[in-house]
Every structure is written in C-alpha cells, then in structure tokens.
Amino acid sequence: MFDLQSFIKAVGYVGVFSIVFIESGLLFGFFLPGDSLLFTAGFLASQGYLDITVLAFGCFLAAVLGDSAGYLIGHKLGRKLFTKEDSLFFHKDHLVRAEEFYKKNGGKAIILARFMPFIRTFAPIVAGIGSMKYSQFLFYNIFGGVLWAIGVTYAGYFLGSTIPDVDKYLLPIIGLIILASVAPPFYHAFKTKEQRQQFIAAIRSFRKKK
C-alpha cells in the first residue's frame, strides 16, 4: 500500500494543498487519494508534524478553489468535453456519471459529491456546463468544502489525539475510509437488475475476446 504518511511528510503543506486542489476539479485529478489524504494529514497533525489550523484552513481553501476551477472548465469548454476521446487523464464515463448524479440531486450534488471519488472531480465541471449560477454554486461549494476538507481532516486529528497508539490501526482505518468512499458509486452502478446484467454481459464479452 502506498505510504501516505511518508509522502505527506515529504511534500508538506504545499503538496497536500496542491493534491486537494487538483482532485477537487481538474480533469486529471480523479485518481488522487482525497479522503485518505485528508484523514492521514489530520492524523499527522495530531502527532505534531503539521499545524491543524493551517492544515484544515488550507485544505478548505484548496478544495473551494479546486471546485471553482472545475466550474470554470465546464463553463468554458461546455459540451465539447462529452465528445473528447478517453485518455490516460480523462474518462468520459466519469463525466457522464457525474451528470446523472447532478440531475438527480440538484445543487446538493456539489455537497454530496465531495465524499464520492471520481464524482467529486467531475461534479463542479458538470455544474459549469449546466445552468447553475456561480453564486449558487459557490454556496454549495463552500458548504461542502467545510464538511469534507475540514471535517475529514479534523476527524483524523481527533482520532490521533484521543486513541493511544492509533497509528497501529491507521492502515485498516484508511482502508475503511476508501471502502466507504467507493461504496456509493458501486451501489449506484449496480443497483438495478438491468445494470447488473449489462456488467455481466460486458465480463462475458471480455472473456470471449481473450
């Protein structure tokens, strides 16, 4: 497993803030470890490696600015993104899923998407493509930034401050955070019988090609 603790110690505040910014709204940031990064950084703050106030505020600011950058990308490029070919740093399926999620949940999708990998990166882009006014978007953006960037960071900080030798259990905890993060998208993808059948058909087709 990638050693987040060593990585955060190496990159410091600038590295953490940069990753939060990129993962929050830039097209190529969907694969970055947002939730586990915030939690681990909060834990390291409880151990004295980082200042929790600077860390939490910086992560919040980076998250809000990252979402705003995503909104601007969607607003400027618009529907052209849906005709863009898949590449190493862009997958159209993530954009389509984010659009469907946005249509179902409206403005609150900006808040809910904060806790969903892939959707988190593309939701602000979809908001920019759509008709949401920036003032309305900014409200949900700030509210979601508080819950996610500050909330998850402080969760790691308080856990590290209150439980003795919690570092022994850090990897399982991060594993649970990752599992909880990816569970909603998987549920959404397989919740209907038709979607499950499509997935099975795709697997069978892949095996035949092999």
- Taking the mean position of all CA atoms in its chain, how far away is CA 3? 19
Q: Which residue has the higher pLDDT, 161 or 170?
A: 161
What average pLDDT does range 128-140 have in this prediction? 87
Q: Which residue has the higher pLDDT, 146 or 84?
A: 146
Where does the pLDDT of residue 93 fall: very low under 50, low under 70, confident under 90, or very high at 90 and above? confident
Nearest 10 degrees: CA dihedral of 124, 38, 159, 157? Answer: -110
Residues 1, 161: Cα–Cα separation, whole Å: 24
Percent with pLDDT over 90 in the chain: 31
Q: Give whole-number Cα distances, 10 to 17, 18, 36, 164, 202, in Å.
A: 13, 13, 16, 25, 42
* Cβ within 8 Å of residue 15, ≥6 positions away: 7, 8
- Read off the pLDDT of each residue in 129-150 and give the average, rounded to a whole number: 90
The mean pLDDT of 71-84, rounded to a whole number, is: 79
pLDDT mean over 181-185: 55
Q: Read off the pLDDT of residues 31-62 as tens digits, 9 standing for 90 and up.
A: 677 788 898 899 899 989 999 999 999 999 99
pLDDT (0 to 100) of residue 206:
44
Look-up: residue for tokens 């990166």? 121
Q: pTM of the entire structure?
A: 0.74
For the cut 70, the answer to whether the pLDDT of residue 164 exceeds it is no
* pLDDT higher than threshold 50 for residue 64: yes
What's the rounded Cα separation, in Å, for the pair 194 and 189?
10
* 206 Cβ contact partners less than 8 Å away, ≥ 6 residues apart: none
